[in-house]
Amino acid sequence: MAALTNYTPGPSQLYFTVPDHIKSAIKNNILSLSHRSKSFETIVEKAVRELKQLLQLPENYTVVFTSSATEIWERSIENLVEEKSIHYVNGSFSARYAEIATQLHKQVSLIQVEEGKGFELPEGIYPEAEFVAITHNETSTGVSWPLEDFHKLRSSYPNALIMVDAVSSLPYPDFDFGLIDGVFFSVQKAFGLPPGLGVWCVNQKCLAKANDLQKKKINIGTYHNLLTLHAFAVKNQTPETPNTLGIYLLGQVAEDFNRRTIHTIRKETEYKAAILYQLLDQHPILKPFVEKKEHRSKTVIVAQCSEVTQSVNQFLQQHGIVPGDGYGKNKTQQLRFANFPAHSKEQFEWLVDTLDKFKG
Ligand SMILES: *Cc1c(COP(=O)(O)O)cnc(C)c1O
């Protein structure tokens, strides 16, 4: 039988070039490289350069590395919130971000909707808002923010720092970085890499805010506060001995993605999402969990399978397809399908044909 394809959102299917890059890392002694060497700086420089090109990040953005996106949830609250944070919550990941703010003793306002739903945009203008946390793609439910909504968000919160968790959508979304202040992801999702690295892109306003908080003697953390991370980033270094292999692989895969072009990756993502949603919309037994088309994620597609969940799962596995389980309480009712650059058009066509053959 052909190799299994992993449709779990994370860790997801490895991008097909990763095994060769790991071999080259071993051959080139990257695994025992000093993080204060010139060679290390070259690796960081390349990863950041390729990533900036891929995401079309503006020059005034800094890229820093952490251990995970979970760490960035915590660091972003510590470094960017003096008193109050506003969280848009529609599932487990956005809820966890808000919970971390509570654990860090911030005053947390929740704007919450049911799982499977997107948000109505705020009517008013809130010039006093300090920090707004958005989960661009709620991985637990497959709900995504339409990019047009960011214009409205920016005008509703003209002075807030808007931080976007795009862990399970980047590099797909074509963000207007002028409307937000930072974005982050971890590499084991849509970048098709092994886990253990978080990537945080922030603008100058974030650095200025961290600086302000530090001056006010508010705890912004130590080795991984934003100012220290930035001070090392400008030298293409990191404060601690980092996941060098992870940074190396990110540079290599971002280069592979750039060669393929972000335009092609976006078009293929849209094609694959369209054929899967079309199948689910027409299927006699399965249906898309997210009803509203404009809120349907292109990168994590959730199928409501209800009582046949286990039998669809088994049927898919017999055909070489490993779906992601539903998240949390939806584990026995839903299946999730990651649609990342590592999932080829042919693999998606096979997935769709196989689901089409499932008759209960
Ligand atoms: C997976 C995920 C995270 C956490 O990522 P880690 O790398 O496990 O820390 C955060 N936010 C979203 C939206 C995710 O999907």
Check if the beta carbon of residue 295 is closer than 8 Å to that of residue 118.
Answer: yes
Strands 334-338 and 300-304 turn out to be: antiparallel
Instruction: Classify residue 117 as exposed, middle or buried by CB count within 10 Å of its CB (0-12, 13-18, 19+).
Output: middle
Q: What is the mean pLDDT of residues 34-57?
A: 98
Across all residues in the chain, what is the average pLDDT? Answer: 97
**Site to substitute for ligand 1 among 93, 164, 250, 297, most atoms within 8 A of C-beta:** 93
Instruction: Find the length of the chain.
Output: 360
pLDDT number for residue 2: 56
Percent of the chain that is helix, strand, coil (3-state, to 5): 40, 15, 40
Task: Report percent pLDDT > 70 for the chain.
Answer: 99
| Packing angle, helices 18-27 and 244-260, rounded to 10 | 130
**Residue 123 — pLDDT band, cuts 50, 70, 90?**
confident
**What atom of ligand 1 comes closest to residue 9's alpha carbon?**
15
Ligand 1 centroid–CA 138 distance in Å is 10
**What atom of ligand 1 comes closest to residue 135's alpha carbon?**
13
What residue owns the CA closest to ligand 1's atom 10?
69
**What atom of ligand 1 comes closest to residue 71's alpha carbon?**
9
Ligand 1 centroid–CA 279 distance in Å is 28
Ligand 1 centroid–CA 230 distance in Å is 22
**Site to substitute for ligand 1 among 168, 197, 199, most atoms within 8 A of C-beta:** 168
pLDDT number for residue 122: 83
For residue 195, whether the previous peptide bond is cis, meaning omega lies within 30 degrees of 0, is no
Q: What is the DSSP letter of 326?
A: P
Q: What is the mean pLDDT of residues 128-150?
A: 97
Q: Which two tokens stand for residue 317?
A: 């596995």
Ligand 1 centroid–CA 353 distance in Å is 30
Task: Report percent pLDDT > 90 for the chain.
Answer: 98
Q: Which residues contact 144 (CB under 8 A, 6 or more apart)?
A: 118, 136, 137, 138, 169, 295, 296, 297, 298, 299
Helices (H), 115-243: 149-156, 204-215, 226-233
pTM over 0.85: yes
pLDDT number for residue 1: 44
Residues with CB under 6 A from ligand 1: 10, 68-70, 93, 135, 139, 165, 167-168, 186
Ligand 1 centroid–CA 196 distance in Å is 11
DSSP labels, 87-143: EEESSHHHHHHHHHHHHTT-EEEEEE--TT---PPPSS--TT--EEEEESEETTTTE
